[in-house]
Structure 1
Amino acid sequence: ELGLLTVSWVASVAIIFGGVVPYIPQYRDIRRTQNAEGFSTYVCLVLLVANILRILFRLGRYFETPLLWQSIIMIITMLIMLNLCTSVRMATELNTKRRSFTATDSKDEEIKVPKRLFLDFDWNYFWSWSRFVDYLQCVLAFMVLAAYVTYLLLDSVLFVESLGFLAVFTEAMLGTPQLYCNYRNKSTEGMSIKMVLMWTSGDTFKTGYFLLTQAPMQFWICGLLQVCVDFAILFQVYYYSRYPQKPISHTTHTTSAKAL
């Protein structure tokens, strides 16, 4: 009994915090280098949407509490990543402006970086705003809208099941941009193989947890899909290293939307 409880507790902790572990070295790397170009903030967008929808799904269909906490922890983590990336990006833009002004001897002019705000509702700058508070406004607006729609349609089984599928399917698709990018470039150069191995082990464990705890069908189906995408990327690593499709470049690096 005690052994089973210990295993269950360890598995729950791994589920809650395992998803955010790959982002810890990325966060530290951005802080150390003060360069956020290698990290796609659209990863944060996808994970925020997926986990908000998953929390709302629980209002209509119960699932294990550790999965609920996993979503809450992931939302907090993505907001922390957005805060860091926004501050680093704006500092980089300001430094670029300063260098430009110095080169043109325009030192007397005030250096300004154009502000891009969420409330401007300019789709050209969607998810590329100048302040962290704008991302918060967008996330809160989405949460309120999604919660309101869910409240209205909570009695609809079709809506609830579709909501759950959309939540986990969105998260499951995180690896596909890298898969397509590798295929387009005919190379996996610049991609972190260690990160892919971390995804694969984590996604495999997560899918097994879904099956063992009899989580809703949407969870384990999309978990299996996620594992398949991970293995497809690993196959690309093997294939393109064994059968190079183009000369190896030492200057061009493909960044991963999921890994970075």
Structure 2
Amino acid sequence: MDVGVGEEEVERAWSLLSWGASCVMVFGGVLPYVPQYQEIQRTSNTDGFSTRVCLVLLLANILRIFFWIGRQFELTLLLQSVVMILTMLAMLHLCCSVQNSNRVATKQHHITDLDLRYFWCWSGFEDYLLFCFAFTMMCAFITFLFLDSTLFVEMLGSLAVLFEAMLGLPQLLQNFQNQSTRGMSVKMVLLWLAGDVFKTTYFVVNESPAQFWVCGTAQILVDVAILLQVFYYGQESRAKLG
């Protein structure tokens, strides 16, 4: 009798732990962007944050949703994608608002201009929404045509995680271009790293498709590279001041 009760308690505790881990997976990805959001609000400056991070995550999570349609894996990861898409749209909305308030009589650029030089550098938040809508419709159409193809579904998953693995690259490149990490929230990158370590472990433990933990490992490496930039450019700035 005691053994049965003990097993029930262990099972209940494990279920609670699993539920908690799922909640962290769904909403934990939002946390890194809170300090960056606050930093942009505080300084009214978006120069230190690469909005292409938003592009990468939007593409990755839209693709992941269609991957889920073709191959139903954990519902947690589907919900995570929905939450992340909403978060990236919120970040873009803030960036557009700040940039428009700081703009002084310069020509505005819109997606309808069809000018690749200003791709993802549009003036209106509506332009980003239109792009996301068009990309989603294109993915829906192609997925509808090839949903029965296992190769296509796996390729969709690989594309999703490939984009997600590139998450930190726009920020890494922008830091390199600026030769500075000023304006970028270090807390955001530290939370990226913590989140990527957690989710990669989650993927391995839950035996998620291999694409996910490969993506997580790549993201960890990029996070570390950005933190090294923080150290390097910080040292360089101190040397110049000295």
Out of 118, 129, 135, the residue aligned to residue 136 of structure 1 is 129
Closer/same/farther in 2, CA of residues 198 and 146 from structure 1, 3 Å limit: same
Closer/same/farther in 2, CA of residues 143 and 39 from structure 1, 3 Å limit: same
Higher helix fraction (1 or 2): 2
Deviation for aligned residue 1:47 = 0.6
Question: Aligned-pair RMSD on alpha carbons?
Answer: 2.6
Closer/same/farther in 2, CA of residues 90 and 177 from structure 1, 3 Å limit: closer
1:53-202 aligned at under 5 Å gives the runs 53-93=63-103, 96-97=104-105, 113-179=106-172, 190=182, 193-202=186-195
* Pair 1:221-2:214 in alignment: yes
TM-score by length of 2: 0.84
Give unmatched runs, 5+ long, in structure 1.
98-112, 251-260
Deviation for aligned residue 1:115 = 2.9
1:248 counterpart residue number: 239
Partners in 1 of 2:91 and 2:170 — Cα distance? 20
Count of matched residue positions in the alignment of Structure 1 and Structure 2: 230
- The residue matched to 1:248 in structure 2 has which SS? helix
Deviation for aligned residue 1:184 = 8.2
Partners in 2 of 1:175 and 1:183 — Cα distance? 12
Partners in 1 of 2:174 and 2:51 — Cα distance? 17
Instruction: Answer yes or no: is the 8 Å Cα contact 2:35–2:187 preserved in 1.
Output: no
Out of 201, 207, 210, the residue aligned to residue 203 of structure 2 is 210
TM-score by length of 1: 0.79
Out of 1, 12, 15, the residue aligned to residue 5 of structure 1 is 15
2:4 counterpart residue number: none
* Pair 1:46-2:39 in alignment: no
Closer/same/farther in 2, CA of residues 57 and 249 from structure 1, 3 Å limit: farther
Closer/same/farther in 2, CA of residues 36 and 176 from structure 1, 3 Å limit: closer
Partners in 2 of 1:166 and 1:224 — Cα distance? 16
Partners in 2 of 1:114 and 1:234 — Cα distance? 36
Identical-residue share of aligned pairs (%): 53
Q: 2:17 is matched by which residue type in structure 1?
A: V
Instruction: Answer yes or no: is the 8 Å Cα contact 2:25–2:80 preserved in 1.
Output: yes
Instruction: Answer yes or no: is the 8 Å Cα contact 2:61–2:85 preserved in 1.
Output: yes
Deviation for aligned residue 1:180 = 5.7
Instruction: Answer yes or no: is the 8 Å Cα contact 2:92–2:125 preserved in 1.
Output: yes
Which 10-residue stretch deviates more, 189-198 or 203-212? 189-198
Partners in 2 of 1:91 and 1:188 — Cα distance? 24
Deviation for aligned residue 1:125 = 1.8
1:42-83 CA deviation, whole Å, 9 max, x = no partner?
Answer: 111111000000000011111111111110001001111111
Give unmatched runs, 5+ long, in structure 2.
1-10
1:1-44 CA deviation, whole Å, 9 max, x = no partner?
Answer: 22111111110110001111111121122222222222211111
